[in-house]
Amino acid sequence: MLKHNISLKLSGAELINAAQDRLLELLGDIPFVTHVTLECHPTTQNRADLTVTLQAAGSHWILVFEVKQLSQPRHVREAVYQLRRRLNSLPDRQTYGLFIAPYLSEESIALLRGESIGYLDLVGNCFLSFDSIYIERRGAPNSSIRRKTLRELFAPKASRVLRVLLEDPTRPWRVTELAQAANVSLGQASNVRRALLDREWALVDSSGVSLKNPNALLDAWRGEYKPPILRETHYYTLLHGAALESSIREAFATPGADQHVLFSSFSAARWLAPFARVPGQFLYADVKGEELLKSTLQLDSVPRGANILLSIPKDDSAFMYRRQVADGLWSTGPLQTYLDLSIAGDRGLEAADHLRRETLDRKWHRLP
């Protein structure tokens, strides 16, 4: 089940205390900042979580902080709204707002910078810019939060929901419809929906949820992609040229073969968007499809010198949105082909970029 409440495992009080320590440490390194007074009131309605008054080179400043466990763009945007309200309510014009969280992603940092709001996280990233103070620290690694949430979002079950949404990013989906189309539980579909909204990769209105930024979603998926492979087998066939093509067509001519066998990777790209030609054939097949290919293509398993690379997927997600690329021949769809090519070395990455431009980008060109 996709989780959505990932933090550094700090309670609310522990997070506030950690934020105070990090903040005082940061301000303590500035020699011309004096008379620092910190007030903490996280449970007080209509008050900021932290307020700091200080003297910076003789000027009086009030710093207002929002401290949050969740720091996806949607949560950050809500915090910025609260900060703006609180800053506007203060009579002193020398005010500055900051957001504190366990960890801030690049998307959230860009949002805060665009709103002229400072930030601080518990792994070391920070930005303060007011009066004569300018401090910026970037690139502190995130070892547990972002990678874990992304892995969960792109896990096999959750990725089925992504496949449905990416097939037509502008189409709005009700959660029940989305769960049915992806063949997952309502809870799974709901959690994926929430994760996409939190990252502002999706938007929701009265019609349902649709993708706002499919390219950002796909870029993130490519960075985390692990092929859904149960087993990979290298085969060799004596067939070649016209004889091999004829036998492959014979295999696909078996009724319902497209549910069991597909061209994949470079072989699929040859049909979808020709670019790099790599020797051999690449295919997905389930157990039934493997037996069909072994019989039709006269395959022998070999440790080296294979000309047929057969991958047995863990489930049928790779078969979703398959394409009939020629009369009787089927391949993985552009999305699955793109993901598989993206991890197939330099030539594969070049082929993936070409396929994306020729298929997915053209399909999504009307999107903002």
Q: Which residue has better confidence, 37 or 6? A: 37
Give the rounded percent of residues in the chain with a pLDDT score beyond 70.
Answer: 90
Residue-range domains of the chain with CATH: 12-137 (3.40.1350), 154-224 (1.10.10.10), 229-363 (no CATH)
**Coil/strand/helix, residue 166:** helix
Task: Identify the weakest region by mean pLDDT among 51-55, 110-114, 332-336.
Answer: 51-55
pLDDT for position 42:
57
- Taking only Cα atoms into account, the Rg of the chain, rounded to an integer number of angstroms, comes to 26
| Phi and psi, residue 236, nearest 5° | -130, 140
| Cβ atoms within 10 Å, residue 300 | 13
Q: Which residues of 229-266 are buried (b: 16+ CB within 10 A; e: fewer)?
A: eeeebbbbbebeeeebeebbeebbeeeebbebbbbbbb
173: nearest Cα among 217, 71, 160, 335 = 160
> CB neighbours (10 Å) of residue 34?
12
- Calpha distance 173→131 (Å, rounded): 48
| 141 — pLDDT class (breaks 50, 70, 90) | low
Share of the chain above pLDDT 90, in %: 51
Across 41-55, 185-199, 276-290, 304-318, least confident range: 41-55
Among 60-64, 136-140, 178-182, top mean pLDDT goes to: 178-182
pLDDT band at 38 (very low <50, low <70, confident <90, very high): confident
3-state secondary structure 210-266: EECCHHHHHHHHHHHCCCCEEEEEEEECCCCHHHHHHHHHHHHCCCCHHHCEEECHH
Above 50 in pLDDT, residue 209? yes
Q: Is residue 198 a contact partner of residue 70, using CB atoms and an 8 Å limit?
A: yes
Provide the sign of the torsion angle of the four alpha carbons 312, 315, 317, 323, taken in this order.
positive
Cα–Cα dist 53/65, whole Å:
11
Residue 242: which pLDDT band, with cuts at 50, 70 and 90? very high
* pLDDT at position 233 over 90: yes
Taking residues 231-250, report their average pLDDT.
Answer: 93
Task: Kindly tell me if the per-residue pLDDT of 216 is higher than 60.
Answer: yes
Residue 92: the pLDDT is 66
Write the burial class of residue 48 (CB in 10 Å: 0-12 exposed, 13-18 middle, 19+ buried): buried
Mean pLDDT of the chain: 87
Residue 360's pLDDT is: 93
Outline where the chain has alpha helix (H).
12-28, 73-89, 106-114, 145-153, 156-167, 175-182, 186-198, 214-224, 241-252, 265-272, 287-296, 334-342, 345-355, 361-363
Q: Which of 50-54, 121-125, 193-197, 326-330 has the highest mean pLDDT?
A: 326-330
Whole-Å CA distances, 23 to 7, 118, 125: 19, 12, 12
**Could you read off the pLDDT of 220-229 as tens digits, one per residue?**
999 999 998 9
Q: What is the pLDDT of residues 290-312, one digit of tens each?
A: 999 999 999 999 988 999 999 99
| Residue of 113, 109, 123 whose CA lies nearest to 18 | 123
Q: How confident is the model at residue 260 (pLDDT cuts 50, 70, 90)?
A: very high
